[in-house]
Amino acid sequence: MSRFDASREAELRAWLHRLDQPVLDPSSLRIAASDASPRRYWRLDDRTGSSWVVMDAPPCDNDLRPFLDVGERLIAAGLRAPRCLARNTQQGFLLLEDLGPQTYLPALQAAQREAEPAQADRLMRCAIDSLVQLQSRARTEGLTPYSPDLIRQEIELFADWCVQREHGVVWGERERRQWASVGEALVGAFAEQPQVLVHCDFMPRNLMLPPQGSAAPGLLDFQDALHGPAGYDLVSLLRDAFISWDEAQELDWAVRYWEAARKAGIGWSADFGECWRLMEWTALQRHLRILGVFCRLKHRDAKPHYLDDLPRFFAYAVKTASRYRELKPLLPLLEQLRPGVTQQAYG
């Protein structure tokens, strides 16, 4: 039985009717969005002309406490995270402020498609400003650390789901040694960076276009936040699952971030080249994890469309591994999965 069957919707509607919020119009409830996680979102109107979002997160698969905790941290830091109007954590329902109907992703894709670089630059600079504010002001006490064990656990998703399950490849002793050496290099890169609150999915699909007259994007999907490397969220923004930029543009935004972050007291070194290396290695860890996650979504969760974006992540991984001696052992492992992938020219 689906976790989102008719009985689940009936529970949600009953909860809304029980709320002491006469301004709400429960009859306006309609589906707003769903994602790769076991959650879905509804939108409903109130009688003042405003709208609200309901997070529908069945408790068998979700714990709403981290979302509420991190949201309070972000709001306290002056960021645009959704305020919670009402909650029922036992049933898995939250009534949240509506940050708007459109994410950054279609706006950036339109700017790219219509050759409007100034529009893309404006949006990305606003996102970077919010990221620096998050890293310099948000409290990290009590957050789970991005530990070496967690880093290794995440990249093992690539080995388990992309290598073995999707491609049917079984590594021998040599391949396992190559893989282990790359993993240890990535663990070291995480530890060498300033440690801040990491959103963990600071990407265009989780940034909401601001209302007219406001520059700061709204932040969503932050419940997995950790205490970890400052470069993680930046590279999540620059090297996304669904939109890519040429390297000159990536570097321009990265330098702007680095300058603003140092000015805000985030402890990056004065050597941008070394900082960029750490950022790229952090991006590689994320991309290996996502290759595994997208393959898992196909095989475990019957969502095969996520595989459409695997080539983008292979391209990211090849580009990064090709230019660092410590990461080059990854190249034959990628070539084994997609013959010819390391010979292609990626921008």
Q: Give the per-residue SS3 of the chain.
A: CCCCCHHHHHHHHHHHHHCCCCCEEEEEEEEEEECCCCCEEEEEEECCCCEEEEEECCCCCCCCHHHHHHHHHHHHCCCECCCEEEEECCCCEEEEECCCCCEHHHHHHHHHHCCCHHHHHHHHHHHHHHHHHHHHHCCCCCCCECCHHHHHHHHHHHHHHHHHHHCCCCCCHHHHHHHHHHHHHHHHHHHCCCEEEECCCCCHHHEECCCCCCCCCEECCCCCCEEEECHHHHHHHHCCCCCCCCHHHHHHHHHHHHHHHHHCCCCCCCCHHHHHHHHHHHHHHHHHHHHHHHHHHHHCCCCHHHHHHHHHHHHHHHHHHHCCHHHCCHHHHHHHHCCCHHHCCCC
Band of pLDDT at residue 5, cut at 50, 70 and 90: confident
pTM for the model: 0.93
Least reliable range by pLDDT among 26-35, 78-87, 220-229: 26-35
**pLDDT per position as a tens digit, 250-301:** 999 999 999 999 999 999 999 999 999 999 999 999 999 999 999 999 999 8
Q: What is the mean pLDDT of residues 1-28?
A: 84
CATH number for the segment(s) 6-97? 3.30.200.20
Domain spans, the chain:
6-97, 104-343
Q: How high does pLDDT run on average in the chain? A: 94
Band of pLDDT at residue 37, cut at 50, 70 and 90: low
**pLDDT per position as a tens digit, 319-340:** 999 999 999 999 999 999 999 9
- Per-residue pLDDT at 347 exceeds 50: no
Q: What is the pLDDT of residue 3?
A: 66
- Per-residue pLDDT at 154 exceeds 90: yes
Of residues 229, 159, 234, the one with CA closest to residue 196:
229
Least reliable range by pLDDT among 33-37, 53-57, 157-161: 33-37
CATH number for the segment(s) 104-343? 3.90.1200.10
Q: What is the mean pLDDT of residues 57-65?
A: 92
Q: Which residue has the higher pLDDT, 324 or 344?
A: 324
